Structure 1
Amino acid sequence: MTVDKPWLAQYPENVPKTINPDQYESLIELYEECFNRFRMHPMTICMGVTHTYGDVDNASLAVAAWLQAQGLPKGSVVALMMPNVPQYLPTMIGILRAGYVCTPINPLYTGRELRHQLNDSGAQVIFVVDNFAQALEQVIEETNIKRIVLSKMGDMMGLKGILVNTVIRQVKRLVPKYNLNDPKYNVTKFPEVLKKGKNLPIQAPKTTLQQKAILQYTGGTTGLSKGAILTQRNVVAAAMQSEAWYRPVTSGINEVYINMVMALPLYHIFAFMLSLLGMRSGYTFILVPNPRDMPGFIKTLSKQPFHIFPAVNTLFKGLLDQPNFKDLDFSSLRITQAGGMAATEQTAARWLEVTGCPMVEGWGMTEGVAGGTANVITDRKFNGTIGIPVPSVDIIVIDENGERVGMHQ
């Protein structure tokens, strides 16, 4: 089927018409390229604690080695249920480097929702932060989970982590009581995984772009959440599409290390895709574990310059409604990316007035690794549309009978 592509005429000069994910043999190769290129560069900042690309590389290798030592069959599914904490990306990358498939889980899921995803995905191991262990305990007997890795929020924050864990548990009381101490649950603490994994051998699995990488569950807005199978090629392509689309702006700030605000939850396809885009270009992610804590979020933003700010409309609006948000320094902000839900003209206008940076909207879906359409990144005006197809995306419009309809230009 041939597709007319009138939108290509609107591409900025330095955005390619197509991308070629086949330049990589696997997603693992892309990750390892990033770790080698940016080894000493900060990859994540969370609550004032920085981890370099080298730190994340080492931690993910330890996770991978420990997982392989558990004797899981090839292609097994491992669940990941965490907010945006430093151990999230090393764990996810470690699962893939071990040769397994990762299924990210919304940590705010109820027991019923959690049980559905664990059973539907066939996950045998779960990495979970203890804030959400109670939900797991409610359903564990009704799942195939054979091993639990239990983590605390501050597990990769050194001495600061001890303080973080104490405040979360004793002061804010954010860890509901749970009891997973029974040996039958086969629980390992996350620091133990890192400690043991560092001394274990790792077998680099033979991986190809055709293999499954992520079992990503949809929003479930029209019924039960469904698992979209994303291959390594799907994921690599999405990273390359986004990087190409941002290039007209990011190429002008590459001398400065780019900081991306990561308040969107990493278990969501939008943030997952942005993490790959950022890694390919050596970005530093400013991790926000709880964006609902608006005063805490604004305090985090005040501590370092930020260049790229992706979020959903409700989050942008929530920040704008905080009186002291306007006092932040927005001089470094170059890209405000709206997605995940429709952005409103009113929020976009307020955002531009306060920050001086226009909001650019896009559209994507879980099955397409969040890549679909986007407005041209250099646009200075919000237009309320979802934009045009990004490189290597073809779109046709059909009517209710499945017949193609003409283009209105």
Structure 2
Amino acid sequence: MYAKLDAELGIAPGIDVSRYNDVVSMAEHSFASFAERPAFSSLGHSMSYADLDHLSAAFASWVQHFTDLEPGDRIAVQMPNLIQYPVVVLGALRAGLVIVNTNPLYSEREIEHQFNDAGVKALVVQANVAQTAANVLARTGVKYTLVTELADLHPPLKRFVINNVAKHIKKMVPPFDIPGAITLNKALDEGASRAFSPVPLERDGLAMLQYTGGTTGVAKGAMLSHGNLVANALQVDALLETHPLGDDAHVTVQPLPVYHIYAFMTSLYNMLKGSHMIYIPNPRDLGSVVKTLRDYKPDIFCGLNTLFMGLCNNEDFRKLDFSNLKLTLSGGMALTHAAAEHWQEITGCPVSEGYGLTETSPVVSTNPGNWIIIGSIGIPVPGTEVKIADDEGNSLGIEEAGELLVRGPQVMQGYWQRPEETAKVMDPEGYFRTGDVAKIREDGFLQIVDRKKDMIVVSGFNVYPNELEDVLYEHPDVLECAAVGIPDATAGEVIKMFVVSKSGNLTAEEVREFCRRSLTAYKVPKLVEFRSELPKTNVGKILRRELRDEQA
């Protein structure tokens, strides 16, 4: 089916996975080919591909000459969308390290779990969130900590102004104490004084541990190889050729957090094309998003349903000139018809929705530019096989709903140090079980029908009920609890926690406050309902689905 459909749409039937051996060789090709072009920008300052080459080599040299870190060791990178991010990530990969992306909003409990599970030995953290990490580092195996401030790679005067305003006027940097920590700039200066020695890398070598709840809710690292990431960048490139982008270098505005696999892959794609990516550190600040769109007039914009809705309701956004905008990408959560239609009405640019998972590096499918169907997640990217299966693994036919299974060069190697969990999601033929219920439409396009598991998606972020309930069960006045997702026009879903209080005196605000101590803000329940008892199976398992269905 898809070979015929690809031919009709002018999509390459496959990709040449041997084109680049690893992420570093792909990056170094871009350094040589596009040296003078701008590569990444944030907070009004741009870095060229030549700059990125020089600075990432300096970071790799620092790793080699000023630490005892070895290829294969894990390094956590905890920062928002700043130009320091690609410098550190590419530098670490050039030294043979494995990247562990860490959400800057993580709580102490979440950081400690991730660092210990991954065996993290080094950390690069933004100063604004260093206080949280400082409180747990002594309980981890981290030996080296580097701290960076917002504008560390800006020219001296800009750097001084931006960093001091953030620290002393806006009070954005809480005091912290990390013994032995050095600044990222010091590491770069030290590394630049010594020669960097290239490290041989393997296509199947581990490049990244990207943490996810997978299909069970237990936080674990998806092992993404260099080959996985390179293949997905090439797959995305092949399918995006159907959009009216032309051959010139693109300007892409990326407000979504680069530590999330969706934004990470769009960064790799832009680097592959020698394009210019504009990072926005705080996408919740719609004013900064609007200003960036006004200043750079991009031809590519990356977003998700929540952001589209927020921008379309912003008066300043509606006044912008969108004549350059040729491609709007949507992922991370379901795209609603209302958001897609409103966006196209205002910008003149249709939204191309895609689908992916952390375990697939992430892109599985997307809508081609010459045939966009709202409500569909498009067709598989080249080199990807999909099937719809019933609970016994039998393939289903057209328009029959079942679990979506995926096989291709972008599918992860497995979960880090969790062979049992890996076995649960990989079938004997090498297909990855996504945990999502989907169907293949008559036209060949894929459509997500429902979620097989109880995962909640809040503004594009996966939230797993087990984790929330485990936290709340630590409250001395909680007898039973269950978390479910409730549909929400803005966030996609919001979290509702059902609680049985032992005393009967517990309040909703007390529940939320208790959760805030251990959970990232988007995981804190927005709604709390108290009950005398919760519905259960005859063996005592709480029925989340029944609670969710009651809210419909």
Q: TM-score, normalised by structure 1?
A: 0.94
Structure 2 Cα separation of the partners of residues 139 and 406 of structure 1? 51
Contact 2:214 2:359 in 1 (8 A): no
The CA deviation at 1:220 is: 6.5
Measure the CA separation in 1 of the matches of 2:328 and 2:231: 22
- The C-alpha deviation readout for 1:92-118, integer Å capped at 9, x for no partner, is 000000011111111111111111111
Rg larger for: 2
Match of 1:249 among 243, 246, 249: 243
What's 2:334 paired with?
Answer: 342
Gaps of at least 5 residues in structure 2 are: 400-441, 443-552
The answer for the alignment partner of 1:25 in structure 2 is 21
Partner of 1:9: 4
Task: Report the secondary structure of 1:324's partner residue.
Answer: helix
1:114 corresponds to which residue?
Answer: 111
Contact persistence 1:348–1:382 (CA under 8 A): no
> CA contact under 8 A between 2:70 and 2:96: conserved in structure 1?
no
Structure 2 letter corresponding to 1:8: A
* CA–CA separation in structure 2 for the residues paired with 1:362 and 1:115: 33
Letter of the structure 1 residue corresponding to residue 171 of structure 2: R
Q: CA deviation at 1:403?
A: 1.5
Letter in 1 for 2:32: N
Cα deviation for residue 406 of structure 1 reads: 2.2
* Secondary structure of the corresponding residue to residue 136 of structure 2: helix
Q: Deviation of residue 371 (structure 1)?
A: 1.5
Tell me, yes or no, if structure 1 residue 155 matches structure 2 residue 155: no
Partner SS, residue 385 of structure 1: coil
Distance 2:10 2:45 in 1: 36
Q: 1:175 to 1:220 in 2, by over 3 A?
A: farther
1:402 maps onto 2:397 in alignment? no
Question: Which is bigger in relative contact order (C-alpha 8 A, separation at least 6)?
Answer: 1
Alignment deviations for residues 7-42 of structure 1 (CA, whole Å, 9 cap, x no partner): 232325542111121222322111100111100000
Give 1:166's aligned residue: 164
Q: After superposing the two structures, state which structure 1 stretch, 257-266 or 121-130, moved more.
A: 257-266
Does structure 2 conserve the Cα–Cα contact (< 8 Å) formed by 1:127 and 1:149?
Answer: yes
Partner of residue 101, structure 1 = 98
1:51 corresponds to = 47
Q: Please list, as runs of the form range in 1=range in 2, the aligned pairs for 1:364-375 lying within 5 A after superposition.
A: 364-375=356-367
1:179 paired residue number: 177
Query: Gaps spanning 5+ residues in structure 1: where?
Result: 1-5
Match of 1:90 among 87, 92, 95: 87
Whole-Å Cα distance in 1 between the matches of residues 313 and 212 of structure 2? Answer: 30
Q: Which runs of 4+ in 1 moved over 3 A?
A: 219-222
Alpha-carbon shift at residue 377 of structure 1 (Å): 2.1
Mapped to 1, the partners of 2:63 and 2:191 lie a distance apart of 8
Equivalent pair of 2:40/2:83 in contact (CA under 8 Å): yes
State how far apart, in whole Å, the 1-side matches of 2:363 and 2:174 are: 37
1:51 maps to amino acid: M
- Number of the residue aligned with 1:3: none
CA distance in 1 between partners of 2:120 and 2:38 (Å): 32
TM, length-normalised to structure 2: 0.70
Residue 38 (structure 1) aligned to one of 30, 34, 41: 34
1:320-352 deviations in whole A, cap 9, x for unaligned?
121111111100101111000101111111001
2:208 is aligned with 1:211? no
- Give, in whole Å, the separation in 1 of the partners of 2:33 and 2:243: 21
Query: Counterpart amino acid of 2:238?
Result: A
Aligned length: 397
Report deviation, 1:224. Answer: 2.9
**1 CA distance for matches of 2:134 and 2:271?**
34
Counterpart Cα distance in 1 of 2:31 and 2:63: 20
Structure-1 residue corresponding to 2:125: 128
1:348-367 to 2 correspondence within 5 Å? 348-367=340-359
1:278-306 CA deviation, whole Å, 9 max, x = no partner?
11111101110111111122112111220
**Alpha-carbon distance, 1:171 to partner:** 2.1
Contact 1:372 1:393 in 2 (8 A): yes
The equivalent of 2:414 in structure 1 is none
Mapped contact 1:312–1:340 kept (Cα < 8 A): yes
User: Which AA in structure 1 matches 2:201?
Assistant: T
Provide the secondary structure at the position in 2 that maps to 1:207: coil
3-state SS of the aligned residue for 2:386? Answer: coil
CA distance in 2 between counterparts of 1:231 and 1:217 reads 14
Distance 2:139 2:122 in 1: 14
SS at match of 1:23: coil
1:391 aligns with 2:387: no
Higher strand share: 2
- Cross-structure match for 2:57: 61
The alignment's C-alpha RMSD in Å is 1.4
Distance 1:407 1:43 in 2: 43
Which piece of structure 1 moves more, 337-346 or 396-405? 396-405
Which SS does the other structure have where 2:41 is aligned? strand
The whole-number CA distance in structure 1 between the counterparts of 2:272 and 2:217 is 35
Deviation at 1:249, TM superposition (A): 2.3
Matched letter for residue 221 of structure 2: G
C-alpha distance in 2, partners of 1:208/1:229? 14
Higher helix share: 1
1:242-321 aligned at under 5 Å gives the runs 242-249=236-243, 252-255=245-248, 257-321=249-313
